[in-house]
Amino acid sequence: MPAPIERADHLVAALGDAAAAIAQALAATPDWGEAGTRDGQHHSDLAADAAAVAVLDDAGLGVLSEESGRHRPERAVTVVLDPLDGSTNASRRLSWWATSLCAVDEHGPAVALVVDLRHGTRWTARRGAGARRDGEPIRASGCTALGEAIVGLNGVPAGHGGWAQYRALGAAALDLCAVADGTLDGFLDATTDELGVWDYLGATLVCREAGATVTDAAGRDLVVLEHGARRIPVAGATGDLHAALGRLHPEHGGSA
């Protein structure tokens, strides 16, 4: 049985407040271009991060953020935060970018919230209690055959993997949530150790609570609270599809 989530309502409220603060900060940020602080970091990333970290800190939570690292590691719950997943898309107003938050306690991911910041769609999950999109329960598509699957990709594979179609949309958190609600059938990270835990953890809980399978292509634990750690998430609506996608990655001798 899943471990109980202490203060679940408090965590849900805190994640929602942080997401609202991010939206307000972005609305007040005129320049969404690169900040010059490090490669790929935008002014929008920094503004969103500062707003979210302040809210989460006031709520008594630790934070592991893509943009600013680890805060308050001694606290019992750490929120893994990507304040703006798909910031390159956002800077060019391509409509696939999100906020991802996942509260992690001693038992692992407990509560997740992923918000599509362009369209307002919200995916939520509580450990052992299912997943929802805009309040409605969701389930993965049930697709089992790779040749029938619509697959989201991160990175560029070496060749065609045998799927029916693919999409490379540019925000892993949203790609994985699309697997959870059946919009996509699977997701393959075709890179090697480029995605941080903030890119996938919230959406991984959403996927698993919706019946999808998500693992690291190299067999490592996806739950890692280290800023420098990188993983290779692979997701499938079913175990069969997940296994077929996993075999495509070079970690298993494939050519993705």
Per-residue pLDDT tens listing for the chain (256 residues): 566 677 889 999 999 999 999 999 999 998 888 888 888 888 888 999 999 999 999 999 999 999 999 999 999 999 999 999 998 898 898 999 999 999 999 999 999 999 999 999 999 999 999 999 999 999 999 999 999 999 999 998 888 999 999 999 999 999 999 999 999 999 999 999 999 999 999 999 999 999 999 999 999 999 999 999 999 999 999 999 999 999 999 776 665 6
pLDDT at 251: 75
Phi, psi of 98 (to 5 degrees): -150, 165
In sequence order, the β-bridge partners of residue 187 are 152, 235
pLDDT at 8: 87
pLDDT at 254: 66
pLDDT at 256: 62
Structure tokens given for 105: 């306690």
pLDDT at 31: 85
Distance CA 151, CA 164 (A): 8
Write the single-letter amino acid at 224. Answer: V
pLDDT at 34: 86
- Spell out a b/e string for 24-63, using b for 16 or more CB atoms within 10 Å of the CB, else e: ebbeebeebebbeeeeebbbbbbbbbbbbbebbbebebbb
Question: Which residues make Cβ contacts (< 8 Å) with residue 247, sequence separation at least 6?
Answer: 253, 254
In sequence order, the β-bridge partners of residue 165 are 150
pLDDT at 2: 66
Residues 189, 232 contacting (CB under 8 angstroms): yes
Structure tokens given for 195: 């995605």
Question: Which residues make Cβ contacts (< 8 Å) with residue 104, sequence separation at least 6?
Answer: 77, 78, 79, 80, 110, 201, 223, 225
